[in-house]
Amino acid sequence: MGEELHNPLAEGATALDWGDPSSLPVAEVEEFFLTLAKALRAFQLYDRNNPVYHRFLSNLRQAMGRLWRGQDRLPLLVEEDRITWQGEEVYRNPSRAESLSFLLFRDGVRELTLKKGLEKEEVEGFLEVLHRARHARGDADDLVTLLWDQDFRFVEYGVMDFLAEGVAVPERGDGGLGDPRLILEQEGVGLNQGGEEGKADPSADQSMVRERTKEVEPAFRVQDFNPALYALDPGDREYLDAELRLEMERDLRIPVLNALFDRLEENARPDRQEEITEILRSLLPGFLSQGELDGASRVLEELESLRARGLLSDAARERADQILDELASGESVRELVGALEDGSVSTDANELAGLLRHLRAPALAPLLAATEETAHPIIRRLLQDAIRKIAASNPQGVLQLLEDPDPAVAAGAVRLLEGMGLSEAAGSLARLLDGGPLRVQLAVVEVAGEIPSSALAGALERSLTHQNRDLRVGAARALGRTRYAPAAERLQEILKGKALRSADVTEKVVFFEAYARLAAERGIPFLDRLLNGKGILGFREPPEIRAAAARALGVVGTDAAYDSLERARDEQDPVVRSAVNRSLRGE
C-alpha cells in the first residue's frame, strides 16, 4: 500500500467548504457506492470479457472520476451498518449478506481511504478482493489479508485488533510506590509512635488479625466444587457451538411466512385473511427487488393453492387475484427482465423458473417481447419455458397475439405456434406472410413447414420471389418440408430463370433441393438436362447450376436419379464432380 503526497484539491477544481455539510458532494459519494455495489454484483455474475460487465465497470470508473473534481482522496469511516464521510452517511444496507459496510467491519476494517488513480490502475483488483472476501469460507483469507497481499497503491485502510477493541486501558501513573504508612492507614492498620504508649501488644495484634481474617473469609471456596461434574466434554461443546451457529444464521423469514400461511388457511376469520393477503401483497415487491425470488415464489404458490382449494374469502380471493395479475403485468415483467439482465437482481435458474411458472396469461406479450430481445441465453430459455406453460393453458391468447402491433410480440407468438398443432392459425400466418413486418414474415417461414395448409403454402409460394434474400430462402425450405407438390411448377420456373443464376450458392442449393422434394421423379428429366445436357452451341450450364442439380438428384434418390449422376461421375469440373460424388454416396 503505497503512500502519496496529499493534495486537497485536484488541479483546476474549486475548493470545498469542509465545515459546511451542505457544500459537500454527498450525493456523488452515495452514487459511487451504489455503482460500486452493482459493479461488484456484475463481477460475480459475468465473465471478464462480457460486455455487460464492461458496462458496469465503465460506470464505476466514471463515478469514481466524478469524486476527484474537488479532492484527490476519499477518507471513509466504517461502521457495522453504514459508511460515513466527513460525518455524513453515504452508504447503508440493512442486508448483511449484501452490505459492503458489514463486509469491511466484520474483518476489522474501520477506516478506508480511496485515492485518485484507483479507477485507472487498480479498480478491477479492488473488486476481486471484495468479491473473494464476501465469498470466503472456512480457512480462506479474510479481507485484511487480501488487501495486504495486493499491496494497493491507491487504497489505504485502518484495522482494529479484535483483542484490543473495547478494552479499557488504565491511565499512566507517576511511577512512585507512595508512602507505606499512608497505605497501611488506608487499609485500617494503625501505627503506634515511640514511648511506653507506643509499645505494641503482640497478643492484641494477633487477635486483630484473626478477627480480620474471619471478616474476609469467603462464603464458598473453590475446593468445595468438583469441576469435572459441570464441565462439557469437547464433543458437547462442538454440538452446542454448531446449534448456536445454526440458530443465529437461521433465516427468520421462512417461519414468519409459515405462520402467516397457517393463519390464512383459517377461513373462519375473513377479516384476518384479508389483512394477511394485504401483508403478502406488500412483501412481494420487496422480495423481487432484493432478488429473493424463492420467497416471492413461495408466496405466490401458497396463494394459488389456497385459492384453488376454496379456502379464501371473497375479499381475500379478490386480493390474491390482484397480486397475481400485478405480477403478470407488462410493467412488472419488463422490470424483472431488465433487473436480471443488468445484474441488479441476481438469482439462479431454478429460482427464476419457480417464479415464472406462476405468471398468468397477460404476461404472454411482455414475455414474448423479452424473449425476442434479450441477449442472455439462460434468461431466454427460462422465459421460453414459462411462455410454453402459459400458452398451453391459453391457446386462444396466443392466436390473439399474432395481431399484436409490436413485431417482437407477434414474431414470438408465431414461433410459439410450432408444436402446438393449431391448424386454425394457418390463415393468420398466411396474411402475416403476405403483408406483415419482415421480422414477423421471417418467423412465419420458420414454422410454416410444420403446419399443413394450402393457404399457407400459397403464401410461401408467393414469397419465393420476395426482395429479401433470407425470406426467399426460408420460404423455399418451408415448401420443401410441406411436400406441397403444386408448388413444384413454380419452383421449376424460378430454376429456369435468370434471377437465380445471380444468387449465391446457398440460395441455389436450397431452391434445387426444395424442387427435388416436391417434384420427386417427375423432376428427374429437368434436373438431368441441367446436369448432363448441352445447349445448341454445345455449351453446358454454369458449374454452380450443375452442382446444385446434382445435389437435387441425390435428394430424389431413385434409380433413375442415380443413373443420371453416374453419367456425370467422370466430369472434369471439380465443383460438379464433387457434388456428383457426394450425392452418389448419399451425403
What's the pLDDT tens digit per position in 179-214? 556 655 655 555 554 444 444 555 555 555 555 555
Residue 139 pLDDT more than 50?
A: yes
- Exposed, middle or buried: residue 58 (CB in 10 Å: 0-12, 13-18, 19+)? exposed
In sequence order, which ranges of 9-142 are alpha helices (DSSP H)?
26-45, 51-67, 100-106, 118-121, 123-134
Q: Looking at residue 89, what is its pLDDT?
A: 92
Task: Decide if 404 contacts 426 (C-beta within 8 A).
Answer: no
In sequence order, which ranges of 502-558 are alpha helices (DSSP H)?
505-519, 524-532, 543-556
Please spell the DSSP secondary structure of 239-299, one letter per residue.
HHHHHHHHHHH--THHHHHHHHHHHHT-TT-HHHHHHHHHHHHHHHHHHHHTT-HHHHHHH
Q: What is the 3-state secondary structure (H, E, C) of 148-211?
A: HHHCCCCEEEEECCCCCCCCCCCCCCCCCCCCHHHHHHHCCCCCCCCCCCCCCCHHHHHHHHHH
- Exposed, middle or buried: residue 199 (CB in 10 Å: 0-12, 13-18, 19+)? exposed
When pLDDT is averaged across residues 467-475 and rounded to a whole number, the result is 91
**Position of cell 495486504?**
148
Residue 230 pLDDT more than 60?
A: no
Q: Looking at residue 109, what is its pLDDT?
A: 92
Helices 123-134 and 51-67, axial angle in degrees (round to 10): 110
- pLDDT cut 90: percent of the chain above it: 12
Strands 109-115 and 73-78: antiparallel
Q: Looking at residue 59, what is its pLDDT?
A: 92
Position with higher pLDDT, 548 vs 356: 548
> pLDDT grade, residue 376 (50/70/90)?
confident
> pLDDT grade, residue 272 (50/70/90)?
confident
Residue 74 pLDDT more than 90?
A: yes
Which of 549, 536, 543, 445 minimizes the C-alpha distance to 496? Answer: 549
Which of 289, 211, 459, 362 minimizes the C-alpha distance to 447? Answer: 459
Number of Cβ within a 10 Å radius of residue 489: 13
Q: Name the average pLDDT for the chain.
A: 79
In angstroms, the CA 90 to CA 131 distance is 21
The SS3 assignment for 113 reads strand
**Position of cell 413461495?**
298
Compute CA distances 567 → 4, 91, 525, whole Å: 85, 82, 13
Q: Looking at residue 14, what is its pLDDT?
A: 46
Q: Say how many Å lie between the first and final Cα of the chain, rounded.
A: 66
Could you give the domains of the chain? 21-159 (no CATH), 412-484 (1.25.10.10), 490-587 (1.25.10)
Position with higher pLDDT, 332 vs 476: 476
Q: What is the 3-state secondary structure (H, E, C) of 384-445?
A: HHHHHHHHHHCHHHHHHHCCCCCHHHHHHHHHHCCCCCCHHHHHHHHHHHHHCCHHHHHHHH
The three grid cell numbers given for residue 5, joined into one nine-digit string:
503526497
When pLDDT is averaged across residues 502-530 and rounded to a whole number, the result is 89
> pLDDT grade, residue 62 (50/70/90)?
very high
Q: Looking at residue 202, what is its pLDDT?
A: 54
When pLDDT is averaged across residues 22-45 and rounded to a whole number, the result is 85
Q: Strands of 73-78's sheet, edge to edge?
A: 88-92, 82-85, 73-78, 109-115, 155-159
Q: How many helices (H) and strands (E) does the chain have?
A: 29, 5
Position with higher pLDDT, 575 vs 165: 575
Phi, psi of 451, rounded to the nearest 5 degrees: -120, 105
Task: Decide if 107 contacts 133 (C-beta within 8 A).
Answer: yes
- Exposed, middle or buried: residue 363 (CB in 10 Å: 0-12, 13-18, 19+)? buried
Range of weakest confidence among 11-25, 30-44, 247-261, 504-518: 11-25
Q: Looking at residue 187, what is its pLDDT?
A: 55
> pLDDT grade, residue 414 (50/70/90)?
confident
Helices 487-496 and 454-462, axial angle in degrees (round to 10): 10
Of 16-25, 171-180, 507-516, highest mean pLDDT = 507-516
Range of weakest confidence among 56-65, 140-149, 340-349: 340-349
When pLDDT is averaged across residues 151-172 and rounded to a whole number, the result is 71
Q: Looking at residue 57, what is its pLDDT?
A: 92
Which of 420, 316, 410 minimizes the C-alpha distance to 369? Answer: 410
The three grid cell numbers given for residue 99, joined into one nine-digit string:
452490505
